[in-house]
Amino acid sequence: MAATEPLTAERILRATEEVLRRHGPAKATVVDVARALGVSHGSVYRHFRTKAALREAVTKRWLDRTSEALSGIAADADRDPESRLRDWLATLFAAKRRKAGDDPELFATYSVLAGEQGEAVAEHIADLTGQLTRIVAAGVDAGAFRAADPEATAWAVFRATACFHDPAYAPEWKTPGADADFAALVDLLVQGLRA
Amino acid sequence: MAATEPLTAERILRATEEVLRRHGPAKATVVDVARALGVSHGSVYRHFRTKAALREAVTKRWLDRTSEALSGIAADADRDPESRLRDWLATLFAAKRRKAGDDPELFATYSVLAGEQGEAVAEHIADLTGQLTRIVAAGVDAGAFRAADPEATAWAVFRATACFHDPAYAPEWKTPGADADFAALVDLLVQGLRA
DNA sequence: CAGCTGACAGATATTGAAATCTGTCAGCTG
DNA sequence: CAGCTGACAGATTTCAATATCTGTCAGCTG
């Protein structure tokens, strides 16, 4: 028999995701995770102090995967700010919609998790609005956008598009007019930003 | 003893509101309503075919109260469209915030009710976006706004401001920066609308 | 001795029996 | 006879007993 792999936080997180996928957020227990790994649940508590901490770590991972895809667009200083903004918003919407459509149950699971993790979600939102702020500020610097306070404006853009990234609105993302609605809203916002 | 007042739909609705206020949406029963009125619950079913129909009627009433306050602004053809739009949005936000702040439990009760009444809520939203469409269209006619499709644009404005009228965001309405955030968003949208 | 186990106390969730509620309707009442 | 009552069947909710889970820790193991 091969030597047992060491029990790492990474392995626990992967097992937790699997358990969440199978059982859903309400029924997933630490005992289930330990069983899936073939260890005692006491061992899991060696890596994560509480069940809440474990759930938060899983949530953070999931949120960070979205942030990373977008940070590339936000940081691409070569492209003009308006197309970067449009691309960033479209990519965010597309990513959320794909996740919600591909595996609705898993998406619902993560939405529940996100709902209980005020802290992790707040950080994620701060990260995203930070990226938006950089795009808006770049636009102001380039003379393409007009914004007295780029941070406040970025926040306004983020909130204005909440319908297209807040999981609460997920059911509406697959309705026929969603793309047209999204395009109309982005056009309106970009128009409002132009110098 | 005075003759017993006749049992009208109106009296039942008032009693139902009172029961909902006292017991909350989960525990309010038709039997409670009948008891509050001093009649048998069978009599309530004479006016409302089901409990769901009764709840829907109460919800509709509550939603209509908001619509009416706004319809005056939307219909006031004498004022210039931009100030009407700003006023309309500010009034909607103020009304929602006041209701949520004055009696959070009652607001939560109605939010739950609204959540189960897809039909009534859809009508209410259609009513509100209809009012918005009229304001936008008036602006286009007056040459103040530019919008290829006033209805689509009105819908975009409504969605963009969802954070300031969707009950799901109510907890954020009392945070310090809420007014500034609202003002920034409205400025951005109005800027985008201008011809 | 670092890492894991498994028994334990208190907290939380599940279960099934009993109570209550919804919706109907035959008949009472004014 | 129009409007109300109250008993009823089936659905839903409540409640308390039972089972499971969370988080800890003394001690085992390699």
- B117 belongs to a structural domain: yes
- B25 belongs to a structural domain: yes
Place of tokens 């039997």: B31
Cβ atoms within 10 Å, residue B159: 23
pLDDT tier, B195 (very low <50, low <70, confident <90, very high otherwise): confident
Q: Which residues of B touch A170 (CB under 8 A)?
A: none
Q: Which pLDDT belongs to residue B19?
A: 95
In terms of domains, do B84 and B24 share one?
no
Residue type present at position B20: L
Q: What is the DSSP letter of A126?
A: H
- B152: burial class by Cβ within 10 Å (0-12, 13-18, 19+)? buried
In terms of domains, do A9 and A77 share one?
no
Between A12-21, A173-182, B69-78, B129-138, the lowest mean confidence (pLDDT) is in: B69-78
Residue type present at position B50: T
Domain at B185, CATH number: 1.10.357.10
Q: Is residue B142 over pLDDT 50?
A: yes
Q: Is residue A1 over pLDDT 90?
A: no
Place of tokens 């009228």: B165
In terms of domains, do A93 and A134 share one?
yes
- B147 belongs to a structural domain: yes
Place of tokens 């056009």: A187
Name the residue among B168, B181, B193 with its Cβ closest to that of A156: B181
Residues 6+ apart with CB under 8 A from A163: A169, A172, A185, B159, B160, B162
The pair of structure tokens assigned to A31 is: 């005992």
Place of tokens 């954070």: B163
pLDDT tier, B4 (very low <50, low <70, confident <90, very high otherwise): low
Q: Which pLDDT belongs to residue A191?
A: 95
Domain at A36, CATH number: 1.10.10.60
Q: How far is A62 from chain B (nearest CA, A)?
A: 23
Q: Work out the percent of chain B whose per-residue pLDDT is above 70.
A: 98
In terms of domains, do A23 and A60 share one?
no
For B155-189, the pLDDT digits (tens) are 999 999 999 999 999 999 999 999 999 999 999 99
Q: Which of A63, A24, A30 is nearest to A49 (CA)?
A: A30
Q: Which of B8, B95, B94, B18 is nearest to B58 (CA)?
A: B18
Query: What is the C-alpha separation between B185 and B160, in angstroms, rounded?
Result: 8
Q: Which of B85, B97, B174 is nearest to B137 (CA)?
A: B85
In terms of domains, do B88 and B131 share one?
yes
Cβ atoms within 10 Å, residue B172: 13
In terms of domains, do B165 and B119 share one?
yes
Q: Which pLDDT belongs to residue A2?
A: 40
What's the whole-number average pLDDT of chain B? 93
Average pLDDT over residues A122-147: 95
Give the count of domains, chain B. 2
Q: How far is B179 from chain A (nearest CA, A)?
A: 12
In terms of domains, do A152 and A93 share one?
yes
Q: Which residues of B touch A (CB under 8 A)?
A: 149, 152-153, 155-157, 159-163, 168, 180-181, 184-185, 187-193
Query: What is the C-alpha separation between A140 and A193, in angstroms, rounded?
Result: 9
Structural domain range at position B34: 1-48
Query: What is the C-alpha separation between A193 and A133, in angstroms, rounded?
Result: 13
Q: Work out the percent of chain B whose per-residue pLDDT is above 90.
A: 90
In terms of domains, do B156 and B92 share one?
yes
In terms of domains, do B88 and B180 share one?
yes
